[in-house]
């Protein structure tokens, strides 16, 4: 289907909002093209927000970037400069041993951040979709994808998803957004300057903590996290490592709630890479479907929260006994993870955020600063041996 000034949509946010469309009144051709399927209003919102994120991630890092979006916030985001993946990540996500392109590896990481949240996601990637990525996406439960283009074989694979209804969109990578953006609420039009800020290493220059050194790998991860937060519903805090946002706490009214949420998500992600989880992933019975295996691994790392019925259900899916990861064992494993970083879309108002991040192994932080309690927060970071950059930049999105 060719690009057009107006794209009709199935319905609005809900089926009882039947009239919905995408209109374009800018110069030239619309930057968005519907290649396959019939998108909904939410699909388009997710696609546009996700596209902004991966475009910025590539601009900031120079690497292939991917995001898994749900309800206008990322469930996961990552960059990759090669197709290499951690063998443990491959095993517990059942990615197999196929060789991956760099963009396929970026999406594999992004999807792995929080597979529960990514169920039925909208995907955005910064590169042309190749067969490697399409093959990775094909078995996943996903609503659609937006990319700058598609190789013919990849497009045919994607068109076969969801009985031919899988939403495939193309975005012009050269499109430049207007300098002013607007939205209509209750018939009133709000306008503001578009947020064209791209996080850069210069924002990490002010480090008031006793530990001053921020490694190149930590700096890249901080920039990935900050860029991710720029495109995440506020309030938001994110943690990650290796150019990968592994825990995103979005849309909470208090910052400590964001921090707790992102740390819990990151903890589950990391425990799925624990040797016990990897070993369990290799013992599922043949009849257990892939989606059920993924869900079972998610449940396994939350063993302490499961009922006995849920534990019995998990035991019934594998050959041999199920040995949970003990609390002390889990704490020791998480404490041994290196390279954990955190970014916040605004300042941390209290030290409780820093104390919670420390328990998740975070040793490097980027935050806006500007709180009347900055000194208390810096002192807390010093107690935990953290480096903390005060960026002076707020990254709210509403």
Q: Which residues are tagged catalytic?
A: 70-71, 235, 398
- Integer-rounded Cα Rg, in Å, for the chain is 21
Cis peptide upstream of residue 235 (ω within 30 degrees of 0): yes
Bridge partners of 129, per DSSP, are: 150
Bridge partners of 240, per DSSP, are: 245, 341
Bridge partners of 142, per DSSP, are: 121
Count CB-CB contacts under 10 A for residue 201: 14
Per the CB < 8 A criterion, the answer to whether 251 and 268 are in contact is no
Distance (Å, whole) CA 205 – CA 269:
30
Per the CB < 8 A criterion, the answer to whether 234 and 398 are in contact is yes
Strands 167-171 and 32-36: antiparallel
Distance (Å, whole) CA 365 – CA 263:
13
Q: Which of 285, 316, 298 is nearest to 92 (CA)?
A: 298
- C-alpha angle with apex 80: 271 to 362, nearest 5 degrees? 40
User: What's the half-sphere exposure (Cβ side, CA atoms, 13 Å) at 197?
Assistant: 22
């Amino acid at each position: 289907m060719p690009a057009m000034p107006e794209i009709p949509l199935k319905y609005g946010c809900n089926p009882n909002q039947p009239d919905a469309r995408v209109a374009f009144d800018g110069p030239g051709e619309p930057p968005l093209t519907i290649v396959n399927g019939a998108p909904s209003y939410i699909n388009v919102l997710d696609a546009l927000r996700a596209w902004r994120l991966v475009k910025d991630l590539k601009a900031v890092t120079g690497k292939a970037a991917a995001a898994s979006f749900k309800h206008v916030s990322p469930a996961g985001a990552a960059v990759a400069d090669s197709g290499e993946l951690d063998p443990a990540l491959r095993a517990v996500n059942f990615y197999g041993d196929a060789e991956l392109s760099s963009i396929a590896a970026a999406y594999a990481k992004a999807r792995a951040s929080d597979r529960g949240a990514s169920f039925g996601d909208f995907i955005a990637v910064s590169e042309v979709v190749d067969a490697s990525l399409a093959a990775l996406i094909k078995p996943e439960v996903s609503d659609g994808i937006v990319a700058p283009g598609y190789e013919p074989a990849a497009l045919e694979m994607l068109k076969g998803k969801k009985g031919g209804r899988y939403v495939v969109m193309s975005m012009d990578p050269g499109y430049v957004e207007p300098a002013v953006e607007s939205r209509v609420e209750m018939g009133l039009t709000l306008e503001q300057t578009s947020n064209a800020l791209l996080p850069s290493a210069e924002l990490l220059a002010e480090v008031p903590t006793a530990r001053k050194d921020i490694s190149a790998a930590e700096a890249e991860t901080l920039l990935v996290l900050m860029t991710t937060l720029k495109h995440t519903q506020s309030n938001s805090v994110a943690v990650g490592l290796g150019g990968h946002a592994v825990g995103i706490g979005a849309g909470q009214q208090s910052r400590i709630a964001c921090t707790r949420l992102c740390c819990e998500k990151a903890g589950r992600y990391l425990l799925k890479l624990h040797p016990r989880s990897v070993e369990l992933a290799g013992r599922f019975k043949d009849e257990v479907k892939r989606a059920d295996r993924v869900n079972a691994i998610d449940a396994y790392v939350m063993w302490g929260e499961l009922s006995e019925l849920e534990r019995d259900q998990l035991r019934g899916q594998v050959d041999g006994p199920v040995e949970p990861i003990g609390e002390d064992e889990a704490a020791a494993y998480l404490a041994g993870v290196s390279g954990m970083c955190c970014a916040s879309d605004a300042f941390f108002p209290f030290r409780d955020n820093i104390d919670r991040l420390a328990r998740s192994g975070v040793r490097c932080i980027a935050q806006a600063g500007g709180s009347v309690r900055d000194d208390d927060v810096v002192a807390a970071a010093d107690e935990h041996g953290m480096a903390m950059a005060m960026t002076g930049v707020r990254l709210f999105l509403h």
